[in-house]
Amino acid sequence: MKATVANDTILKVENLEMLFPLTKGLLSRQYASVRAVDNISFEVTKGKTFGLVGESGCGKTTTGKCILRILEPTAGRVLYNGVDITKMPRKELKQYRRELQMIFQDPYGSLDPRQSASSMLKEALTIGQTKKLTGEINDRIEELLVLVGLNTEMKVRYPHELSGGQRQRLGIARALACDPKLIVCDEPVSALDVSIQAQIINLFERLQEELELTYVFVAHDLAVVRHIAERIGVMYLGHLVEVLDSSDLFQNSMHPYTKALLSAVPTIDYYAEKSRNRILLEGEVPSPINAPSGCPFHPRCKYATEQCKKQRPELTDRGGEHMVACHNV
Amino acid sequence: MGERLLEVKNLRTSFFTVAGEVKAVNGISYYLDKQEIIAIVGESGCGKSVSQKSMVQLIQMPPGKILGGEVLFEGKNLLDYAPTSKEIQSVRGAGISFIFQEPMTALNPVYTVGNQLVEVIRNHKKCSKAEAWKIGVQALRDVAIPDPEKRMRNYPFELSGGMRQRILIAICVACNSKVIIADEPTTALDVTIQAQVMELLQQIVERKKTSLVIVTHNLGLVTRYAQRIYVMYAGRIIESGTTEELITKPRHPYTKGLLNSVPKLDQTGSEKLIPIDGTPPSLVNLPDQCAFLPRCPYACDKCRNSMFPELRSVEGENHFVACHRDIVEDRT
Amino acid sequence: MSEHLGKDITMEEWVKLESKRRRKDAAKQFFRIFFGRGWLSKCCLVVLVVFILAAVFCPLLTVYSPYEQSLIDALQGPSREHLLGTDNLGRDLLTRTMYGARISLCTGLLSSLIAMVIGVTLGLIAGYFGKFVSGVIMRVVDAQLSIPPLILTMCLAAIFGGSILSISIIIGISSVPMYVRMVYGQVLSLRENDYVAAADLIGQNKLKIMFKHLLPNCFATIIVLFTGNVGISIMIEAGLAYLGIGITAPTPAWGTMVSEGYNYFMFKPALALVPGIALMLLIISLNIVGDGLRDALDPRLRGKL
């Protein structure tokens, strides 16, 4: 059943929910559940980048994995090009499998230590595809390596012989080997040095232009997400608290959590830093097992009222597609 | 000017491995005054962590070896003493203490927080267990940990990353350290917790009159909190100065490259990042010329034919650069 | 482009040359560590090689048969015809010891191989498929572990008789749980690695993921287990033979020889001591050479090929 979406929306997430049951005892009796992702909805435009940002435990990585069905969501729908892929049986999903790829955070754990670069790319190129000639495959492998900025001689190397940045490039090459349309990037630059981060970010942007890719960019670094994404979703404790254009992020954000997050990120603009208003949040992020009632942010929010404690705010459009989930804004 | 609290002169540390001599610290000099916050900035592999650990001889020898230089702490050269001597033991903790990056592994998981605090306190002060316990509770209160008595009985795994980092700071406070060296103290923490921990460190510096050395690669962090910055590359200091000078008028191509490669949160345009080409050099068999030469967009024949440039003073307050060329960039 | 610069070669040729160079480097590294562990390990390697040669070539090395009795020559001391003397039935002791080496090494290797193949497969399946499948497999393994191994092997030997093959199978089966548990644990943690999720994303099927991505990364653990297991299997076999189970007289298993020779301990202690000391030397040298093998392979396996 096709749902009606705008022509250029490549991905639509509707009321996505991911519950992890907590069990106790010999018979695995469930006594509670972790609401890792709690009723998330957003849209991603083709050829653009949607940034999912938040601190650890907010559910952004889980959301990314649910979109690709690495984890099976417990409720909600994921519509890829209008087609509901959430509950699709594995056999049917196969045709879309290669169009939806992921780039992982850990450049050390995302590559099989016993596979050389060429072997890995060969595997990615040949699974489920019509038989190609060895010459064709080799050519394509070299093309991919050059595309991600690696030397073709690196094809014989094993992961431990590559630096962090090179491994990440190889991971990107593997994803590209499948001719993807949408790539979920899970914190792809967090583990890299500053100067290498910039190189990889530029690579992402170049590839997006050349290959018309769409990204869902999951990260905790606000500056990186602001730079690469056109639209940003801020997550807290499994909820989307604000969705806005990245150009609005610094000046026009409305949700108290987003503002606190922005204030906590130091910039390199010296004079601006000295004159900035700092909002310090008290306390820690609560555990998702004991999520607070009503608005998940209310225990730490300066503006919390009785209504905030009881009623969970919905994401509503405040004008210009700027969505905020807050009673007091 | 008087005696500086901490002054390092020409410190050199190398590791002798199968692959050759790794010159982790290749002649660095810096100083620290009372109640000052300085930052040592550089990427991984530039030798910043090793340089700090060398000060109190915390590196593994072999294969490491402190080859030379002076570390003058309150006038005494720490390198004159053996690592196991009483003088060094008493400096570690009470004089100079460390906060490391991974709060998950810095605390012993099989002992309670209270146990570990008491052990450290009694190491540096002659007192009974009960007295040490009281000092510990007060230290926890000083770092704004709620319910300190209860926390003393917790095991590290029962506490979050931010909480553990505060406990490490509490340990420094309990020993009344004169210098706290924070080696990437916030990298493993969430953004809002990072802010809390850094604010706390700033308060400790003010209230307890300690000095702080922040070792990090996060330029935003040092812009906000540090008063002076030293930039390290391939085992050497290549630029130093006050934060204002360095961040607004960087002189060394590496510093400039770093500042250009960080995405800016407060801009709305989509300017491209300008990364530094290439990768950081391996510290084995470093050439005699400038270590940044292969990656430098301003490299010229003079750079190629000369030895490594020494730090020289440039205009601006307390600003030193190790570069053969003179490139001024104003980022105000 | 390293050492192959200066010549005009195509990419394929360079890849071939480069791979060959890497293999040579890896082999050099292997032998450097394997042989560089001191005089003890070199001695043990020599001892092991001697035993292996004896086991393989014993028909050529001796004119006697281990079964041929000659009561006239019984219980003789060492002489030019019989280097270690004879036993109570006139059989040459040295010959029987060499044939015993053959039996011990065969059963040791065979049983370890059987245990490895069965155990690793079960461990992989249990670890990767999880939930119901792993539950069933692990409980069966637990059930087997709850039976004392000696009783288990004795019962099975009583049922299936005492040829080398059946004893190897029996000892192999009793060693399976060890492999299953170790591999199961390894796979549980390897499964969480991103590259497994990536393999799933590029469309790889579950079977291929198991054998292409998970199994090779378990090699280190498996080899460690295997080298230790060979020694243990030899000990179990000797122990069973000593008890008269499995391989029985007149087959020259060391355990049987020790048990028979014990009766003549007062007159000729060599009858029991020689096979006993041979057993001890073989197992010790196996263990120490196994250590060396593990060390030599470990840094290679840990990320390298």
* pLDDT per residue as tens digits for the range B170-197: 888 888 889 999 998 888 788 888 888 8
Is the domain spanning B6-226 CATH 3.40.50.10490? The answer is no
CA distance A279 to A257: 10
Interface contact B262-A268, CB threshold 8 A: yes
Mean pLDDT of chain A: 87
The range of the structural domain enclosing residue C170 comes to 102-305
Residue B1 pLDDT: 43
pLDDT greater than 60 at residue A2: no
A142 occurs within a structural domain = no
Those residues with Cβ within 8 angstroms of residue C133's Cβ, 6 or more apart along the chain or in another chain: C125, C126
Residue B73 phi, psi dihedral angles, 5° rounding: -105, 115
Residue C1 pLDDT: 40
Q: Is A160 in the C-facing interface, judged by CB distances under 8 Å?
A: yes
Residue C149 pLDDT: 82
Residue A275 pLDDT: 83
Query: Which has the higher per-residue pLDDT, A24 or A47?
Result: A47
Locus of tokens 């706290």: B180
Q: What stretch(es) of chain B map to CATH 3.40.50.300? A: 6-226
- Nearest by CB to residue B248, choosing from A262, A270, A285, is A270
Residue C298 pLDDT: 65
What residue of A is the nearest CA neighbor of C23? A156
Angle, nearest 10°, between helix axes C11-35 and C270-301? 140
**What proportion of chain A, given as a percentage, has pLDDT over 70?**
96
Mean pLDDT of B247-255: 91
Residue C8 pLDDT: 67
Low-confidence residues of chain C: pLDDT under 50: 1-4, 302-305
What residue of B is the nearest CA neighbor of A53? B191
Could you write out the DSSP letters of every residue in B43-62? Answer: -TTSSHHHHHHHHTT-S-TT
Alpha-carbon torsion angle B147, B149, B151, B155, nearest 10: -160
C22 occurs within a structural domain = no
C215 Ramachandran zone, left/alpha/beta (phi>0; psi -120 to 50):
alpha
Mean pLDDT of B56-72: 86
Residue C300 pLDDT: 54
Those residues with Cβ within 8 angstroms of residue B18's Cβ, 6 or more apart along the chain or in another chain: none
C235 occurs within a structural domain = yes
pLDDT in tens, B26-37: 889 999 998 999
pLDDT greater than 80 at residue B77: yes
Residue C221 pLDDT: 81
A3 pLDDT band, cuts 50/70/90, is very low
Q: Is A247 in the B-facing interface, judged by CB distances under 8 Å?
A: yes
Q: What part of C 15-34 touches A (C-beta under 8 Å)?
A: 15, 18-19, 22
Tell me, rounded to whole angstroms, the distance of Cα A232 from its chain centroid.
11
Residue A192 pLDDT: 85
Question: Does B have 3 or more CB contacts under 8 Å with A?
Answer: yes
Those residues with Cβ within 8 angstroms of residue B301's Cβ, 6 or more apart along the chain or in another chain: none
What CATH number is given to the structural domain containing C165?
Answer: 1.10.3720.10
Angstroms from C197 CA to nearest CA on chain A: 7
Q: Is A255 in the C-facing interface, judged by CB distances under 8 Å?
A: no
Locus of tokens 């072999």: B62
A6 pLDDT band, cuts 50/70/90, is low
Angle, nearest 10°, between helix axes C219-242 and C270-301? 170
Q: Per the structure, how many domains does chain A have?
A: 1
pLDDT in tens, A177-213: 989 999 999 999 888 888 888 999 999 999 999 999 9
Q: Per the structure, how many domains does chain C have?
A: 1
pLDDT greater than 50 at residue A245: yes
A119 occurs within a structural domain = no
C9 occurs within a structural domain = no
C73 occurs within a structural domain = no
B254 pLDDT band, cuts 50/70/90, is very high
Q: What pTM does this model have?
A: 0.84
pLDDT greater than 80 at residue A28: no
Residue A281 pLDDT: 82
Mean pLDDT of chain B: 86
Residue C41 pLDDT: 82
Residue C57 pLDDT: 87
Which of B191, B233, B254, B262 is best to mutate for the A interface (most A CBs within 10 A)? B191
Interface contact A198-B276, CB threshold 8 A: yes
**What proportion of chain B, given as a percentage, has pLDDT over 70?**
97
A60 occurs within a structural domain = yes
Tokens in use for C189?
Answer: 């943690």
C30 occurs within a structural domain = no
CA distance C293 to C287: 10
Which residues partner with B39 through β-bridges?
A: B214, B229
The range of the structural domain enclosing residue A271 comes to 9-47+56-99+183-190+217-324
Residue A27 pLDDT: 63
Q: Is A171 in the C-facing interface, judged by CB distances under 8 Å?
A: yes
**What proportion of chain A, given as a percentage, has pLDDT over 90?**
40
Residue A78 phi, psi dihedral angles, 5° rounding: -125, 120
Locus of tokens 């197992």: C283
Contact B176, B123 (CB under 8 A): no
Angstroms from C199 CA to nearest CA on chain A: 8
What CATH number is given to the structural domain containing A279?
Answer: 3.40.50.300
Angstroms from C203 CA to nearest CA on chain A: 6
pLDDT greater than 50 at residue A86: yes
B270 pLDDT band, cuts 50/70/90, is low
B269 pLDDT band, cuts 50/70/90, is low
Please provide the size of chain A in residues.
Answer: 329
Interface contact A155-C15, CB threshold 8 A: yes
C46 occurs within a structural domain = no
Mean pLDDT of B226-245: 92
Residue B265 pLDDT: 83
Locus of tokens 């059946």: C166
